[in-house]
Amino acid sequence: MAKIDVIVPDFAEGAKSIKLRKWFVKEGDTVKKDDIIAEAATDKISVDIESPADGKIASLLAEDGDRVEVGEKIAELEVV
């Protein structure tokens, strides 16, 4: 099966990192494209992180509360 990286989106001009507030999925969960799988936040905004494709969550590479960089891989999705 092919894997797709889930990356932290570019959420605001000039922003470099954001705090991963909460995962809404766990490894092994099936998701659809555009399902909200996590929430991240700064002091000013909240950002939903969506699944890039239909598939199954293969691995979560960051934990709730971690500070993550824009463009960083935070999960892997097995495409079905």
SS3 percent helix, strand, coil of the chain, rounded to 5, is 0, 50, 50
pLDDT score recorded for residue 30:
98
pLDDT at 12 (0 to 100): 82
pLDDT of residue 62: 97
Question: If DSSP codes are grouped into helix, strand and coil, which group holds residue 45?
Answer: coil
Q: Report, as ranges of residue numbers, the positions in the chain whose pLDDT lies below 70.
A: none
CATH placement of domain 3-79: 2.40.50.100
Cα–Cα distance, 24 to 74 (Å, whole number): 13
pLDDT of the residue at 43:
86
Strands 46-50 and 30-31: unpaired
- Tell me which DSSP letter residue 43 carries: S
Please report the pLDDT score of residue 22 as a whole number. Answer: 98
Handedness of CA 74, 56, 59, 64 (dihedral sign): positive
pLDDT for 14 equals 82
What per-residue confidence (pLDDT) applies to 39?
A: 97
